[in-house]
Amino acid sequence: MLPTPTTTHVPFTHIYEPAEDSYLLLDTFSSSRVTTLFRSLFPLSSSPTSTTPSSPSPLILEIGTGSGVVLAFLTAHAEFIFGRSDILAWGVDINEHACRATRETVGVALREAGEAAAAAAAGGEGAEGKKEKWAGGGTYIGNSLGDLTSAVKTGSIDVLVFNPPYVPTPDVPHLQSG
């Protein structure tokens, strides 16, 4: 299981806190079925010794980034999930607090993953098993303040992620029948 990015730095007064659905999505992205799919969609060169991509760097867009935990996970674990570390990660949210939180969450996740990899390479404390879990993170290109995909050119996104917030309500409104 890959480490979940920390969100302890995020003030949840204006942003939804990640819930079970977010963590289930992270588990899904790191599953063998999804990693196999992504690796087949965005292959490296067919030569077993080459690390040259045979497809352009995939552009990942998360709509409604919130705390940034999902985009941070995909970015920090790009090599494991996509089989390559040259992914470009971009977020869009209508909430400026979420844009700032995502930027910080991705930064923390990349820093922590890099530190864990360095410790593993040096054989330091907690190194066991971490070498396989972080071979390289992607590139976070930023967050845009916006509404859904209104600013996105059609056909430019390779992976679109949208995990709308789950907002519990005590009452379910009833629709009038026709």
pLDDT per residue as tens digits for the range 14-53: 999 999 999 999 999 999 999 999 999 999 866 556 566 6
Is residue 64 a contact partner of residue 70, using CB atoms and an 8 Å limit?
no
pTM: predicted TM-score of the whole model, two decimal places: 0.83
DSSP of 66-90, one letter per residue?
TTSHHHHHHHHTHHHHHS-S--EEE
- Residue 177 — very low, low, confident or very high, per pLDDT cuts 50/70/90? confident
- Residue 128 — very low, low, confident or very high, per pLDDT cuts 50/70/90? very low
pLDDT at 155 > cutoff 70: yes
pLDDT at 131 > cutoff 50: no
- So what's the pLDDT on residue 91? 97
Q: Please give the CATH topology (third level) of the domain spanning 22-40+55-162.
A: Rossmann fold (3.40.50)
The mean predicted confidence, pLDDT, of the chain is 87
CA nearest 55: which of 31, 30, 34, 38?
38
DSSP 19: -
pLDDT at 133 > cutoff 50: no
- Residue 164 — very low, low, confident or very high, per pLDDT cuts 50/70/90? confident
**Percent above pLDDT 70 for the chain:** 87
- So what's the pLDDT on residue 50? 57
Listed in sequence order, the DSSP H helices in 32-134 are 32-41, 69-76, 78-82, 96-122, 130-133
- Which whole number is the average pLDDT over 90-106? 97
pLDDT at 166 > cutoff 60: yes
Helices 20-29, 69-76: inter-axial angle, 10-degree rounding: 20
- Paired strand residues for 62: 91, 161
pLDDT at 167 > cutoff 80: no
